[in-house]
Amino acid sequence: MVLLQFTFPKKFCAFGLVLLAQMIMTHLSDLCLATGGSNNPSDDAYPNIVLIFADDLGINDLGCYGRRDHNTPNLDRLASEGMRYTSAYCGLSICSASRAALMTGKTPARLHLTTFLSGRPDADSQLVLHPRIQSFLPPEETTMAEILQRAGYRTGHFGKWHLGGGGPTKQGFDVAVEPNGNGKLNDQEGGKNEFAIVNAAIDFLKSNGDKPKFCYVPHHSPHVAHAAPKDLIEKNAAAFNPLYAATIESLDIATGKLLDAVNALSRPTIVIFSSDNGGLHVPEIHAVPATHNTPFRAGKGYLYEGGVRIPLIVRWPNVIQVGQTINTPVSLMDLMPTLMQVVGVEPAKSVGPLDGVSLKQNWLDGGETGLQPERAFYWHFPHYTNQGGRPAAAVRKGKWKLIEYLDNASVELFDLDADISEQTNVANKFAEQTKLLTELLHQWQIASGAQFGKSNPNADLAAFRRLYIDFDPTRLVADASAVVLGEKWRDWRTEMNKVVAGKKPKLKEALNEIKLLARDGQPHGKKLRYEPESYKNVLGYWTEVDDWADWELSIPKDGEYEVDVHYGCGAKNGGSIVSLEVADASLQWTIRDTGHFQNIIVENVGSLNLKQGNTRLAVRPKSKTAAAVMDIRAIVLRPVAE
């Protein structure tokens, strides 16, 4: 029996009773979640989950996806024993952003983590400047590891985190082993430490205990710099890039070793294999390109299909029918809600709305069951990339794919049924379709709180044209040899590196930020109150325009502070005007409709000039357009000069 004990304050009121009830319900909910609801997590009904994640492995890099010059027998066998998705998409075509989307089930645009950490510095060759991104996955975001941990799973991380902050053990992992990306060329480590990672994962899976296990295995391979034994390179001499092919084969060998260990387990185990983004199709670190994503255009760092389409294989013995090929589009963001439902946890009552959807029914019934052919997929990538990509956003709906460049507002439309290689822009031919998708994309950007870069006052138009227009990094077609293609890239690669040499990227550093959480705010008025449920954690019930809240804070020094507000607003409730006040300084912003009050976004609402010392920050509605103003989770103030 669990005994709940509360001390009642002397001046207790009806409001206190409401809070008490909320605390009791939240506590009971957490207890149920922590023990897997009404089920026993030691039962076989709770499968182990092994999630293997490659780094920069493209849709065209495995034999089971049609690649004939790469040797991947273990992954090919895994595909034959389960489901292989041919139209699976990453959250964004760059590593940290994609990993954040995988771990949270949320779009990187919503998280303000939209490129790799720490990002590419600004350069005069850009028409717009990069928006500042988060320097790590915010700790208040709930990861799939945290959900599975609460559901009774033992959780382990083995490999590359690349999400900053305090690391995996601060985001739901009981165990974390993080070898770097440079190992010894032997069967204990591997050129990318693929064997060291797998060996640690196997030890975890074999460890004692009745709990089911979630084993996350994010490899460094085949990210540059590539490394593989000489005999494997010689074996792959006929490949497009022998070194890359050997690196892939070594990853496949390591994966085979892990799969052998999984097959020996007594508990049923779901195995998932995927990659963070498309294959690297340009030279980077090496003088030659790593791979090509034929027939798909471009690769890592781009929103063309070669950048966002990734392999996805799922095996669940005796549940998923073997040998299936699924062509309907899905997203890596779907994995979090899917795994939650597999273990009996409903997303709406644990983390709130997610940008992914559950694939559980598809896994159970097979074929195209439970999937949505006309579902819209979105990407927002407001950065120039090391691979030559430009700031862009995209939407796919059905056969149509629209890409809008954010530095010059140009638009491209492709019919993927007729033109899977995205070679012919039909935006003018299908003007109405272009308009509809553009409006859909813009609505999604607003609802997601997407960031945009500002115009670059020092833009060098000649350099921009040389790097992004005259030489189009997406148009080079793969030759028989990466060496031949590398010669065509050489001058471009040299200048791409030169324009950012000695410069630093811009991040939203946490070192000197002031974070004000909903639970620490003081609500004033009739109905505004703190809602402690794990899927809420907000100041909510903001139904009265005269209700307001304030926080104590200490300003460390005089200066300008930018202000980010983390909030959500239900459908058709947007449009309220809200004021944020600190001493004599204030600013106002208009609340966006985010689609749901727990659909939290991060919006930069402006900046304030503040004086050093202790003070209070107040948030006051000036108008209310519908049922409620918003739910607010946090406010962050950050020195502008740092």
Token pair of 194 as six digits: 């693929």
Q: What is the Cα–Cα distance from 513 to 515, expressed in whole angstroms?
A: 6
Running DSSP on this structure, what letter comes out for residue 334? G
35 pLDDT band, cuts 50/70/90, is very low
- Residues facing 50 on adjacent strands: 215, 271
d(CA 493, CA 282): 8
Q: What's the rounded mean pLDDT across residues 282-300?
A: 97
Residues of the chain with CATH 2.60.120.260: 511-639
Burial class (CB in 10 A: 0-12, 13-18, 19+), 102: buried
As to burial, measured by CB atoms within 10 angstroms (0-12 exposed, 13-18 middle, 19+ buried), residue 167 is middle
Residue 343 has pLDDT above 60, yes or no: yes
- Taking the C-alpha atoms of residue 36 and residue 49, their distance in angstroms, rounded to an integer, is 15
- CB-CB contact of 314 with 82 (8 Å): yes
Fold that domain 60-507 belongs to in CATH: Alkaline Phosphatase, subunit A (3.40.720)
40-85 tens-digit pLDDT? 555 667 999 999 999 999 999 999 999 999 999 999 999 999 999 9
Among residues of the chain, what percentage have pLDDT more than 90? 87
Cross-strand partners of 447:
none
pLDDT in tens, 255-267: 999 999 999 999 9
83 strand-pairing partners: 314, 324
> Tokens standing for 539?
């100041």
Distance CA 75, CA 71 (A): 9
Long-range contacts of 341-349 (CB under 8 A, 24+ apart): 342/47, 342/49, 342/270, 343/36, 343/46, 343/148, 343/151, 343/153, 344/36, 344/37, 344/39, 344/151, 345/33, 345/37, 345/147, 345/150, 345/151, 347/105, 348/535, 349/29, 349/535
Fold of 511-639: Jelly Rolls (2.60.120)
Type and span of the H or E element at 239: none
- pLDDT score of 12 more than 70: no
Higher pLDDT, 48 or 33: 48
Tens digits of per-residue pLDDT, 386-424?
999 999 999 999 999 999 999 999 999 999 999 999 999
- What whole-number distance in Å separates Cα of residue 194 and Cα of residue 181? 8
Q: Where exactly does CATH 3.40.720.10 map onto the chain?
A: 60-507
Angle, CA 92 vertex, CA 393 and CA 133 arms, to 5°: 85
Helix (H/G/I), strand (E/B), else coil: 4: coil
Cα 300-220-493 angle, rounded to 5 deg: 40
- Residue 510 pLDDT level (bands cut at 50, 70, 90): low
**What confidence tens digit (pLDDT) does each residue in 442-485 have?**
999 999 999 999 999 999 999 999 999 999 999 988 888 999 99
Q: Give the 3-state secondary structure of 249-302.
A: HHHHHHHHHHHHHHHCCCCCEEEEEEECCCCCCCECCCCCECCCCCCCCCCCCC
| Helical residues (DSSP H) of 48-104, grouped into ranges | 73-80, 95-104
Nearest 5°: phi and psi at 134?
A: -60, 145
| Helix intervals (H) in 428-585 | 431-448, 461-464, 482-498
Per the CB < 8 A criterion, the answer to whether 61 and 283 are in contact is no
**Which amino acid belongs to residue 135?**
S
Q: Is the peptide bond between 250 and the residue preceding it cis, with omega within 30 degrees of 0?
A: no
Task: Say if residue 15's pLDDT is above 70.
Answer: no
Residues 28/2, Cβ–Cβ less than 8 Å:
no
Mean pLDDT score of the chain: 92
**The pLDDT of residue 349:** 85
